[in-house]
């Protein structure tokens, strides 16, 4: 059987170290000074430092990448290219980093585009109902409520363009003025 005493060379670790030395010998144990840290410890510290620095650099990179992406989306939104802006803002959900300010801006602008699209779909449906009931006056009035760039689905947008050609008087006043000035040239 192996005991703790056998592993310590027959010495009890709880005994005083003074008991280990003989009284008449006068030899004092010299304490050996070891290195401050071993090479394994230094290697671990270097790896930890590299991980911290690498993490910080990655954080800066993702922060810059998200800022560039949100800037691109803001330019599209300000240019009133709403379909492209919506696609751009939808792609920002995949970014690794977004500040709370960018996040709230994304939600507000996507909400604005979605509201505009829903309004246009409502106008489209009311025009469609009016045309089905053969009430062209109500259809023209409803078409004049349509504003902004067309955000309808592809099939509905094609139908809308056909209706605009069929009922040119239904184009809103500011757009009609531009069209008339182009025709007069």
Task: Please compute the mean of the pLDDT values over residues 80-97 and round it to a whole number.
Answer: 90
Taking a C-beta distance cutoff of 8 angstroms, is the pair 170, 143 a contact?
yes
pLDDT digits (tens, 9 = 90+) for 101-139: 999 999 999 999 999 888 888 888 888 888 888 887 888
Separation between Cα atoms, residue 159 and residue 139, nearest integer Å: 13
Predicted confidence at residue 175, as pLDDT, reads: 43
Q: pLDDT: is 144 or 55 the higher one?
A: 55
d(CA 174, CA 146): 12
What mean pLDDT do residues 144-171 have?
75
Tokens of 142: 């409803």
68-79 in b/e burial notation, b at 16+ Cβ within 10 A? Answer: ebbeebbebbee
Upper half-sphere CA count for residue 1 (Cβ side, 13 Å): 3
Cα separation, 120 vs 89, whole angstroms: 20
Q: Are 149 and 80 in contact (CB under 8 A)?
A: yes
Largest CA distance in the chain: 125
Record the pTM.
0.59
């Amino acid at each position: 059987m192996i005991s703790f005493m056998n592993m310590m060379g027959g010495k009890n670790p709880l005994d005083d170290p003074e008991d280990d030395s003989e009284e008449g010998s006068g030899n004092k144990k010299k304490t050996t000074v070891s290195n401050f840290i071993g090479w394994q410890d230094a290697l671990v510290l270097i790896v930890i430092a590299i991980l911290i620095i690498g993490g910080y650099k990655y954080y800066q990179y993702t922060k810059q990448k998200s800022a560039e992406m949100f800037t691109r989306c803001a330019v599209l939104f300000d240019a009133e290219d709403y379909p492209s802006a919506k696609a751009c803002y939808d792609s920002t959900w995949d970014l690794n980093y977004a500040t709370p300010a960018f996040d709230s801006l994304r939600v507000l602008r996507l909400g604005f585009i979605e509201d505009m699209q829903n309004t246009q779909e409502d106008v489209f449906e009311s025009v469609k109902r009016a045309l089905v009931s053969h009430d062209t006056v109500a259809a023209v009035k409803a078409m004049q409520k349509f504003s902004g760039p067309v955000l309808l689905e592809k099939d509905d947008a094609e139908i809308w363009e056909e209706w605009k050609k069929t009922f040119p008087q239904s184009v809103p006043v500011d757009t009609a003025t531009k069209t008339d000035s182009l025709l007069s040239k």
